[in-house]
Amino acid sequence: MLTTLRRIVLEFSQEAELQNALERMVNSVKKAMKTDCCSIYLADYHQQHFLLMASDGLAKTSQGQSCIGFSEGLVGLVGQREEPLNIADAQQHQDYIHAPEVEEDEFNAFLGTPIIHQRKVLGILAIQQKNSRHYTENDEAFLVTLSAQLASALANAEIKSLLNHQQEKNQGVKQLHGIAGAPGIALSEIIVCQPQADLAAVSLKKAPDSQKQLLRFEQAVEKTREEFETLSRKLSGSIDDDSLAIFDVYKQLLDQANLGKEIADKISKGWRADSALKLVIEHYIGQFEAIEDSYFRERASDIRDLGTRLLVNIQQQATEELTLPSEFILLAQDVTASMVAEYQHQGLLGIISLSGSNNSHSAILARSLGLPAIMGVNATVLSQLHQQQAIIDGYSGELFINPDDGLIQEYQYLLSQEKALTDKVMEVAHLPCITQDGRAIEVLLNAGLSAGFEHTAKLGALGIGLYRTEIPFMNRNCFPSEQEQTQIYRKVLQVFPKHGVTMRTLDVGGDKSLPYFPINEENPFLGWRGIRITLDHPEIFLVQVRAMLRANQGLNNLEIMLPMISGVEEVDEAIRLINQAFFELKAELTQDITAELMSASNVDGHLTLQQAQLKAQAVSAKLVRPKIGIMLEVPSVIFQMEALAKRVDFFSVGSNDLTQYLLAVDRNNSQVANLYDAFHPAVLSALNSIAQQSAQHLTPISLCGELASQPAGAILLLAMGFDKISMNGHNVPRIKWVIRHIAFEQAQIILDKTLTLTTAKQVHSYLNEQLEALGLGGFIRAGY
């Protein structure tokens, strides 16, 4: 039976035309179940009815014509109940409706089951038989299993059919949905960009001429490096912030100390240049795709982009240039950062990527460039979207294909309003973040790719609330040295010399493994990660802390933050190690300076050893022990805050992970991602409790996470009493504008009401109403 199920689903998925697939499927089900009739009805939510699409047993003339209302008949009842319905004598059932056009009078037994995809009923699959009998449990199990397996295939097939129909008829607006990757609106023609080379198509082969293969690779590396430098220069005229750092990462990966060395090693073992590239790139893609954290998982796309460009140059392909109109929307299976950089000066108005998320580098670049972006669009036929007119709404993640004049006029008006709002926001970007009645909250930056934050500082950020230190560890084949880390951290600290820079210690583990430090666990999400791994390996932790302390000399704006804390013991041990590193480094500095002074004194004879030691101690006294804080992301710490407050200088909520752990939801799992919501009443209650306890213990509290970058979230955090909120650079001026246009008293009233609501849906509805009433609706939708 399992083989039959797989065959039916496979045949359905492989059929190009939806109607043919449906007809073939009902015929196969009828034969497999040895019944007299099999039919499929598809839901039409606009007309609020089920339409008979295909049947083997009912009248051919009724197919595509016969409709049953959502609340009518046995088919409607299956849809309403969202569960199977097994009836021995259907015509005697109280909900049975006689439809003479389908010619089903001779059928009595009825078994219907809903086809549900992502909680939405797509249709009803039904079988009927002349004999009056209940279908067996095996029959019911087979039909339910088949419906579940068909759901995803049917959802994709409906989209494909929709686009086919549009191409044939060339009329009617079609709407697709994706993830809102970057806010904004674009109206233009779609240009589809297909990859020029495919690593998956490379067959693994060896070659006798290793030196020749190595030369091919080195030439490809040099050409690729030049391409990235050109793209970076093009972008630097428009932006100068952390999002540009992807090109630095690309160039670092090409170095002999990183991916370049691994590929060269493969070549030296006899592999052809393209085969060696495939082996190494696909290994790293697998490493990154296995990571739980969506921010780091999206780096797999960057590695794939790098590999594709190298492959094009290894194969010495001539670059095929797209024929571009003066303005266009770019669409690709995976829009990469280099694609955005390549086309952004050529009339690019927005991007659509069939894969990726709002953590993709293309989305990050799009936000910095002010380009709307939609990621993860559920469409299967790129070619049919080429040169189609479209509207993308980066606020809602909606994509409109072939919009009519009315929709175009509506979005043109919204576009003019959006520009007016952006101009107003930028006018106050440098003003303090203070409410209308004088309550202040600091807006900080989330960063972590490189030290290129100058542009973001100009946008009004008062420091860095979260600097991720993982990237220098991940893009290499061994742990970075203390000197290397010191140089990186020093550059970061120098960008905000008068403001705090909070550096999170290494946060890797089973879900964010390093290529040279593999970790295999059954449940990495709850395993060896964050502070747990660095405390188990103090040699790694101490080197990083020493590098931070060295980098902080003379600046004294460093704050150290410990991730994944679940108990007091971890904090005590981490502080002990930080103190150890601090006093060791202080002693080393005193000794080194003394030696330098005595060496100089031997020349002119002015200093005694005691005088040299006193001067050295005075210099080393400038090495300041930084503030130490912890991330509140594991729920257990909510109940230990009094003890923790006695040990640390500040708290910082990692709202993304805290939400996942509180709701037991992996937001990267498409099956449950819709349950992930930082506005869930339980999450908001937890955040409010954290803020109240922090105030009670006089411990500063901040939050770094997506919640802070949303206008409604920022208002709630302000009212709860958070001192600082940290976010991506492009959101800094927007959130400052929101805070400056509300009174603290108003925010508290909104919070009080919000905390009484019992569902996330109620919370979103209420907060959206309040933003509209405050004149801030333009930050959550198109228009002002």
Kind plus residue range of the DSSP H or E element containing 38: strand 37-44
Enumerate the β-bridge partners of residue 652: 631, 702
Tokens, residue 640: 């230990």
State whether residue 25 is helix, strand or coil. helix
For residues 54 and 102, give the distance between their C-alpha atoms in angstroms, rounded to a whole number.
Answer: 11
Contact assessment for residue 650 and residue 697, using Cβ atoms and an 8 Å cutoff? no
The DSSP symbol for 136 reads P
Rg (CA), the chain: 30
Strand order in the sheet with 348-353: 174-177, 398-401, 389-393, 185-192, 328-332, 348-353, 373-375, 179-182
Beta-carbon-side half-sphere exposure of residue 607 (alpha carbons within 13 Å): 19
Positive/negative CA dihedral, 375, 381, 387, 389: negative
State whether residue 379 is helix, strand or coil. coil
Residue (of 733, 732, 738) closest to 750 by Cα position? 738
For residues 635 and 344, give the distance between their C-alpha atoms in angstroms, rounded to a whole number.
Answer: 43
Tokens, residue 391: 């509207």
The residue with tokens 């399992």 is 2
Helix locations, 107-255, DSSP H: 137-169, 210-236, 245-254
| Backbone torsion region of residue 460, taken as left when φ is above 0, otherwise alpha when ψ lies between -120 and 50, otherwise beta | left
Residue type present at position 304: R
Q: Among this protein's residues, is 38 annotated catalytic?
A: no
Contact assessment for residue 647 and residue 571, using Cβ atoms and an 8 Å cutoff? yes
Expressed in percent and rounded to 5, the helix, strand and coil fractions of the chain are: 50, 15, 35
Positive/negative CA dihedral, 696, 697, 699, 705: negative
Residue (of 506, 442, 462) closest to 702 by Cα position? 442
Of the residues 38, 680, 704, 730, only one is catalytic, namely 704
For residues 674 and 196, give the distance between their C-alpha atoms in angstroms, rounded to a whole number.
Answer: 35
Residue type present at position 579: N
Residue (of 673, 634, 123, 77) closest to 358 by Cα position? 673
Residue type present at position 28: S
218: which residues sit within 8 A by CB, 6+ positions away?
A: none
- Residue count (the chain): 784
State whether residue 719 is helix, strand or coil. helix
Q: How far is CA 757 from CA 171, 430, 680, 720, 771, in A?
A: 44, 36, 10, 16, 17
For residues 500 and 104, give the distance between their C-alpha atoms in angstroms, rounded to a whole number.
Answer: 76
Contact assessment for residue 41 and residue 68, using Cβ atoms and an 8 Å cutoff? yes
Count Cβ atoms below 10 Å from residue 235 Cβ, excluding itself. 23
The DSSP symbol for 171 reads -
Of the residues 37, 38, 49, 361, only one is catalytic, namely 361
Q: Rounded to the nearest 5°, which phi and psi values hold at 621?
A: -65, -20
Contact assessment for residue 655 and residue 678, using Cβ atoms and an 8 Å cutoff? yes
The residue with tokens 């208002």 is 715
For residues 688 and 424, give the distance between their C-alpha atoms in angstroms, rounded to a whole number.
Answer: 32
Enumerate the β-bridge partners of residue 509: 529
Beta-carbon-side half-sphere exposure of residue 453 (alpha carbons within 13 Å): 31
For residues 335 and 358, give the distance between their C-alpha atoms in angstroms, rounded to a whole number.
Answer: 12
The DSSP symbol for 625 reads P
Active-site positions read 361, 704
